[in-house]
Structure 1
Amino acid sequence: MSAKLIFSDIDGTLINNELKVTPKTRDAIRHQIINGNIFIPASARLPKGIMTAVGQILKVFPMIAYNGALALDETGRALITRFFEAKEAAEICRYVEEQNNGAAWNIYSGYVWYSAEKESDWVKKEESIVDVKSTKTSIEQIAKLQGVHKGLIMGEPKEIDRMQKELSKKYIDLDFVKSSPTLLEIVLKGVSKRSAVEIVAQEYGVDLKDCLAFGDNYNDEEMLRAVGHPFLMGNAPEDLKKQFKPENITLDNNHDGIAKALESIE
């Protein structure tokens, strides 16, 4: 069996803990591309952040960004673009600041990542991970944006859990999904990696049963369930692993889990 479309999360999946694509994983993906298949990163990252990671493998590629709110083909043409209102984004930013718990808000619109003017260690850490600098701005300016692809709240796990519950009750038109214990992603209701994968596969004329997907966390779960050949990384949360068959769990991101799985489907 040879996959036609290979979807992959980035953080905790494609890259190791040193933020690198290992040579073995890089070569395994390139081998699939040489065989005529298409590699498509599917990430919560912004497009520039996806490019810094996947650029270690190839320079031109389609992508799914912002957990599915934006998808681009290899020419940069938008296949999906789903915004929520800037007014709501600004309200959420104010809510985060009012908590006074050290959490940080982030807003993503198009190719731009906005963060608060006040310095935050959370934001600095994310900038170092994705190798992209955020644009400092005010909440007043956030409210003036034409639309928002994604919001992101960074904070301590207990605070993230509490804010997720409170915000989910107040904003029923939005989805609040954790991509890690310290990261809470915000997108328009119905936006997900799964919905994006379904649209992109249709755009390329490939049946989902012929697609592979790799992921390591809760925001990848539905994407994995959508494809014919899902692979959960060995570093995924234990309760998530229980939801998948052993044959659908590969090695962790530090031990070439993607490469191992790709070898198994040759």
Structure 2
Amino acid sequence: MSKTLILDIDNTLIEAMKELQPRSEAALRRWLAAGHRLVFASGKNACAFDDLIALLKMREGWHIASNGGILAEPSTGRFERLACVGARSQRCMDVMDQLGIPYFAYTLDEIVINRPMPQAQIDHLEFLKDPRVVLRDAVDPRAVVKLLMFINAADEETPRRLRQALQPETMGLQLIRTSGELLEIHDQHQTKAVGVRALANKLHLDVNDLYAVGDSENDMSMLEIVGHPYIVANASQTLKDRGWPQLASCREEGVADLIDTLLAD
């Protein structure tokens, strides 16, 4: 029976700022060769999947992008907007400008900044194969999928000030940490669970039959609804506290171990 495996990318399948390792690449190839389905579920924009899809020669398939904001089929160029910040981003950008908080505005095909940003941050996003970062005076708020800020997890004051000034919940928005460096503004319904349910409906799959692996808080909604949730050994303590099955190894080694186990069943 064909299985569906849903994988977070950064720090689950691939260590941030690194390339896919040979063992995990080989495991993914075996998984696909056995006739199973592989789905990426990431905070990245859909174009960030292109290199992985080309490397693994995945000719078709839907993937979950922008933390559930977008359902994408890169092989055909089709996209479905599920939940995006949209026009509300104007208020968010105004508040962040007033507070002096630098941000990146994600659209479907680019990341817009309205001021010079540290090159290390731009390099980080472009290395992760996110859309090209462009400097522009303004962006159409309706085109914004999400907003991203580089704010270290140790900095609790900046998110507090932003939350107090913005009151995101009153706008149907949420502040969510997607890594130790990144804080994002999403639609309240922009979760990986929304993407998983949309994918399951489209492909006529039972969510109880799905396998998923994650490492961070933005993976929690996805892990809560699938029948077979797993976390890698380097997962955040918040995920470990939930008691989900924990793989013995970190990142790609843990994913490769899981694939070996599932293929042996």
TM-score normalised by structure 2 residue count: 0.86
Cα separation, 1, equivalents of 2:213 and 2:129: 19
Deviation of 1:155 (Å)? 2.0
Aligned to 1:125: 124
Provide the aligned C-alpha RMSD in A.
Answer: 2.3
Which residue in the other structure is 1:99 paired with?
A: 99
Give the Cα–Cα distance (whole angstroms) in 2 for the partners of residues 59 and 265 of structure 1: 20
Shift of 1:251: 1.6
Question: Over residues 32-77 of structure 1, what are the superposed CA-to-partner deviations in whole Å (9 max), with x where a residue is unaligned?
Answer: 2112221111111112223234543335442211101111134332
Structure 1 residue aligned with 2:147:
151
Q: Name the counterpart of 2:108.
A: 110
> Counterpart of 1:174?
173
Q: For residue 105 of structure 1, what is the amino acid of its counterpart?
A: Y
Alignment partners' CA distance in 2, 1:185 and 1:54: 26
Asked if the contact 2:42–2:67 (Cα under 8 Å) also holds between the matched residues in 1, the reply is yes
Per-residue CA deviations over 1:11-41 (Å, capped at 9, x if unaligned) read 1011124521111111211212112221111
* Cα pair 2:17 2:124 within 8 Å, conserved: no
Cα distance in 2 for partners of 1:16, 1:154 equals 18
The residue correspondences of 1:107-256 to structure 2 (distance < 5 A) are: 107-120=105-118, 121-130=120-129, 132-138=131-137, 141-142=138-139, 144-157=140-153, 158=155, 159-163=157-161, 165-166=163-164, 169-172=167-170, 173-245=172-244, 247-253=245-251, 256=253
Partner secondary structure for residue 113 of structure 2:
strand
Give the 3 Å change call, closer, same or farther, for CA 148–99 of structure 1 in structure 2. Answer: same
Alignment-derived partner of residue 76 in structure 2? 75
Q: Distance in 1 between matches of 2:211 and 2:191?
A: 17
How many residues are paired up?
Answer: 257
Q: Measured at CA, do residues 117 and 111 of structure 1 come closer, stay the same or move farther in structure 2, by a change above 3 Å?
A: same
- Identity rate of aligned residues, in percent? 22
Shift of 1:241: 0.8
Deviation at 1:257, TM superposition (A): 1.1
Q: Distance in 2 between matches of 1:82 and 1:170?
A: 15
CA distance in 2, matches of 1:168, 1:190: 18
- Alpha-carbon distance between aligned partners in 1 of 2:58 and 2:2, rounded to the nearest angstrom: 21
Asked if the contact 1:210/1:229 (under 8 Å) is kept, the reply is yes
Contact in 2 for aligned 1:8/1:40 (Cα 8 Å): yes
5+ long unaligned stretches in structure 2: none
TM-score, structure 1 as length reference:
0.86
Mapped partners of 1:222, 1:167: distance in 2: 27
Alpha-carbon distance, 1:3 to partner: 5.5
- Extract unaligned runs of 5+ from structure 1: none
